[in-house]
Chains A and B, each alone.
Chain A
Amino acid sequence: MREPIISFQRVSKSYPIYHRIGGIKNLLFNFPHNLRAFKQERFEALRDISFEVYRGERFGIIGYNGAGKSTTLGLIAGVIQPTQGKVSVRGRISPLLALGAGFHPELSGRENIELNGILMGLTRRQVRAKMEEIIDFAEMREFIDNPIRIYSTGMTARLGFSVVAHLDPEILLIDEVLSVGDIRFRQKCKDKLLSFHRDVTIVLVTHSVNQLLQLCDRAMWIENHVVKMIGDAKEVAEAYQQQTREQTRGNLSLNHNQGLPLKAAAGSPAAPIELQAKAE
């Protein structure tokens, strides 16, 4: 068997509800109540999740909003710790930052590339060696020395993707961000993702059945904080879409597009956004 690069063993994660405490004032004047609240009221984000991702795999995580997808990604990235269970990750992680997350508006595109790459664990030398390639892929040569605050949303997204894609990722974490930019650049991103040779492991969080089908080999469906299904991307996508369709039918009997066959959905790039809107 291939080597598991990410493994979750019976992982649960719950958060205390911090906002209950509020501030010092509230803490002092309402102490016993708050302490009790802090201990009891926890928000459960994941319950008893186990899965493994192998080297070179393209692994999709699908589910409705609030199901626990982003928490899973946070656990892989190591920014949060599980409440129970064991997470192990072997390899350097490159998170594809949400729009503008690692970017500072006053810095130029070039400086932002540097900042982003270094945040991901590379050195300045390594980032500089790839600089030109990154700029070319993002198609931003003319603006690269301007501060990023003048960039459009699409330009920032292009830059962000270009950075992670070119800095020798080992494990690439992508959280929904592929849905930005115009169709042509989106396609370019997908092609780039598919062109990585089989050393790069990709974990893609999405609620688009389409992306799952196009980009992933295997997938996990998280529903209500537990794993509903793990398996071949196609099978998971079908089951997910089946359920989405049934729920939509139950909720909105007026919608005449609900019977959309899977094949048609997979064929048109704009479809999943509509589907997802209906699902919610």
Chain B
Amino acid sequence: MFLECDNVVRTRAIARGSGMNLVRHFNNSHHFENYRDLLLVLLKKEMKVRYTNKMLGYLWSVASPLAFAFVYYIAFQVVMQVPIPNYPLFLLSGLLPWQWFSNSVDSAPQLFLNNAPIIKKVNFPRDIISMAVVLNHMTHFFLSLPVIVVFLLVFQKLPSVHWVYGIPLLMVVQAAMVHGITLILATFNLFLRDIERLVSILLNLVFYFTPILYSVELIPTQYRHLIFFNPVAPLMVNWRNMLMDGTLDWGYLVVSLGYSLLFLGLGYVVYRKLSWRFAEVV
């Protein structure tokens, strides 16, 4: 999709409304190397902004899941006595991937708005902005995995060899899902500016409907199948199993892959249909 030869003459023809409208740009195609560099430079920008003060930046970014894990531990195990062994580890292995998801989705509506100045002036593939942000959050998640290792050791466990394929697999599934959702939200938010409020409310709901604070086994049997209607639940359950025990439920994986392809597809449909209007509305 992005592969275009350097000298290929690109013709865009857009027909809509009454009559034919044509815009043609010849020899103005962004070729592969440019796409790659654009992605790298934008990624570097994101990383740099986040980790300006390197060590401190890193501490800050793991501080938030740790703090939440601590609070949930007090509330649910110390006070309410949830019958889950190794609860701090259990919480953290769900919270870290969740943070990746929720941070990305939470910032998604603002994505194109924040880049308004360049969107107005330069014609470049705007989906690359989303890719860069997704990769940034992904890298950041990856960098927080040592925290899990520390907790595993504390609870006298070891990282599993299955991580070698499990973690990349789940990362790809989640990255695709997040990219799709980001494209949808970022695009729609240009036209309907209150989407961002809706998103933060929805994220809160989804968090409690996802087995992160509790395990799937704690859900009453008659409701257990409902987690399949939650696009992130199978993914998060898999993450936790993989991080804690090195196991992967292939059924859950297929379901989450389905959801992520669905979001990715929808994201690109929405983006393709509306991206020509971005410069008018940002």
Contact = CB atoms under 8 A, between A and B. Distances in A.
Given A78-B123, A102-B118, A121-B124, A84 B191 contact: no
B165 to A, nearest CB: 32
Contacts of B17: 83
Interface string A20-43: 011111010000000000000000
18 contacts: A24-B198, A27-B192, A78-B23, A79-B122, A81-B14, A81-B276, A88-B25, A90-B27, A93-B28, A95-B121, A97-B121, A101-B117, A102-B117, A118-B37, A119-B118, A120-B122, A121-B28, A124-B37
B120 A24 contact: no
Contact of B45 (A18, A25, A107): A107
Contacts of B28: 78, 89, 91-93, 121
Interface centre among B17, B45, B195 (most CB of A within 10 A): B45
A270 interface: no
The 8 closest A-B pairs by CB, nearest first: A23-B194, A101-B117, A79-B279, A78-B123, A88-B24, A90-B26, A124-B37, A86-B22
B30 interface: yes
A188 B37 CA distance: 31
A82 B21 contact: yes
Interface in B185-235: 191-195, 198
A88 B10 CA distance: 11
A97 B30 CA distance: 18
A134 B274 CA distance: 36
Interface of A: 15, 18, 21-25, 27, 74-75, 77-93, 95, 97-98, 100-102, 104, 106-107, 111, 114-115, 118-125, 170, 175
Contact of B21 (A86, A98, A114, A170): A86
Interface in B18-50: 19, 21-28, 30, 33-34, 37-38, 40-42, 44-45, 48-49
Contacts of A83: 17, 21
Nearest to A88: B24
A22 B122 contact: no
Contact of B124 (A24, A74, A81, A119): A119
Contacts of B79: none
A124 B119 contact: no
Contacts of B118: 97, 101-102, 119
Given A81-B23, A121-B30, A25 B194 contact: yes
Contact of A88 (B22, B48, B194, B277): B22
Interface centre among B26, B119, B195, B280 (most CB of A within 10 A): B280
A85 B22 CA distance: 7
Contacts of B198: 24
Given A74-B279, A80-B279, A81-B23, 17 more contacts: A18-B281, A22-B194, A24-B194, A79-B123, A87-B23, A88-B24, A89-B28, A90-B26, A90-B27, A101-B117, A111-B41, A111-B44, A118-B41, A121-B28, A122-B34, A123-B33, A125-B33
A106 B121 contact: no
A111 B26 contact: no
Contacts of B124: 119, 121
B81 interface: no
Contact of A91 (B22, B26, B40): B26
Nearest to A97: B121
Contacts of A87: 22-24
Contacts of A90: 25-27
A60 to B, nearest CB: 19
Contacts of B33: 123, 125
B156 interface: no
A230 B59 CA distance: 61
A95 B192 CA distance: 29
Given A18-B281, A83-B21, A124-B41, A104 B49 contact: yes
Contact of A89 (B21, B25, B49, B120): B25
B121 A79 contact: yes
Given A24-B194, A92-B27, A122-B34, A77 B121 contact: yes
Nearest to B42: A115
B28 to A, nearest CB: 5
A208 B17 CA distance: 37
